Structure 1
Amino acid sequence: MTTECHRRPVNDETPRQRFYRRERQSVPAARAFAQETLRDWGGYGRADDVLLCVSELATNALVHGVPPGRGFLLRLVPYGEGGGVRVEVHDSGEGVPVQPRQDVQEPGEGGRGLLLVSELADKWGVGERRPGKIVWCEFAGPGYC
């Protein structure tokens, strides 16, 4: 079975963003917003990778970067000439993420989010924001189905 999808380049689209409060339901809401955006942009062949990275970056923002009473901004930006996507999570926290280590041996669930992001995304990094930071990752095109 073949699925028809739109073939317009994502970089012809307008960036989209949404603010989320510091609460548990913000992570699935951010993921749903990203999925809706990618679908509106005509589909994206690496959508599963993008959505997993949105979940990881949103979770990190809530756990490490969003002070009480604040929130984070998720921004999806058309990227590059080939129809890629840039994911940005803006928070007002003080900490700066560190480069993930491949040899993480500790038991437990923490410490692997940015390792996943570094493996799935083509690039990732941290930008300045006052107050806080922007943690971003990029997925180069062509990404359309």
Structure 2
Amino acid sequence: MSYAIDRYPCEESPRLGAMTLHPVAESVPRARRWFRKFLTPYQPICSVDDCVLLLSELVTNAVVHGKSDAPWLVRVEWFRLGTSLRVEVHNPGLPKNVRLRCPDASDAHGRGLLLVDSIADSWHSGPSRFGGTVVAFTMAEAWPLSS
């Protein structure tokens, strides 16, 4: 299986990196490892562990809920926007199918977006510029103000 990882160290670009992943369960730990590896050198002051957890939840949702008749990939991109970190996860699913659930204590699934909603400063879902769906979260004040 091949995976693509892009890193954009150019200061003019707000995009810090991107990766494409096959829609299989093994992509979730791979996304965690690569995201941590490429985000850490930028020295964010927000919790990298929290960001990795949220990324893991969104990639899991993309793998489980993405649908297409043709072969497809999950695309992950992360950006520095001023002092904020924005992480986007794209898949070919339908944007209207993304919803925050309130699972019962006995439910085994359905807590991913609750975690995102609880930890991230903001999140949203909608149509992806690549087609399908994007679910994104933002960590405000991920970096100090520039002097």
Same fold at TM > 0.5 = yes
TM-score range, shorter chain: 0.7 to 0.9
Q: Which residue of 1 aligns with 2:119?
A: 120
* 3-state SS, counterpart of residue 61 of structure 2: helix
- 1:128–1:134: 8 Å Cα contact kept in structure 2? yes
Tell me: CA distance 1:44–1:29, structure 2 relative to 1, closer, same or farther (3 Å). farther
What is the CA-CA distance between 1:106 and the residue it aligns to?
A: 4.8
- In structure 1, stretches of 5+ residues that fail to align are 1-9
Q: Which residue of 2 aligns with 1:93?
A: 93
Alignment of 1:1-145 (within 5 A): 14-67=15-68, 69-79=71-81, 81-82=82-83, 84-94=84-94, 96-101=97-102, 104-129=103-128, 131-143=131-143
Q: What is the aligned length?
A: 131
* 3-state SS, counterpart of residue 15 of structure 1: strand
* 3-state SS, counterpart of residue 87 of structure 2: strand
Q: Which amino acid aligns with 1:77?
A: F
Q: Which amino acid aligns with 2:140?
A: A
- 1:66–1:72: 8 Å Cα contact kept in structure 2? no
Q: 2:90 & 2:43 partners in 1: Cα distance?
A: 25
Q: 1:63 & 1:24 partners in 2: Cα distance?
A: 8
Q: Which amino acid aligns with 1:123?
A: S
* Identical-pair percentage: 29
- In structure 2, stretches of 5+ residues that fail to align are 1-10
Cα offsets for 1:79-105 (capped at 9, x unmatched): 2x32x211100111125311333xx31
Q: 1:29 & 1:70 partners in 2: Cα distance?
A: 17
Return the structure number with greater relative CO, CA threshold 8 A, min gap 6.
Answer: 1
State the TM-score, normalizing by the size of structure 2: 0.78
What is the CA-CA distance between 1:22 and the residue it aligns to?
A: 1.2
- 2:85–2:142: 8 Å Cα contact kept in structure 1? no
Q: What RMSD in Å do the two structures reach over aligned CA positions? A: 2.3
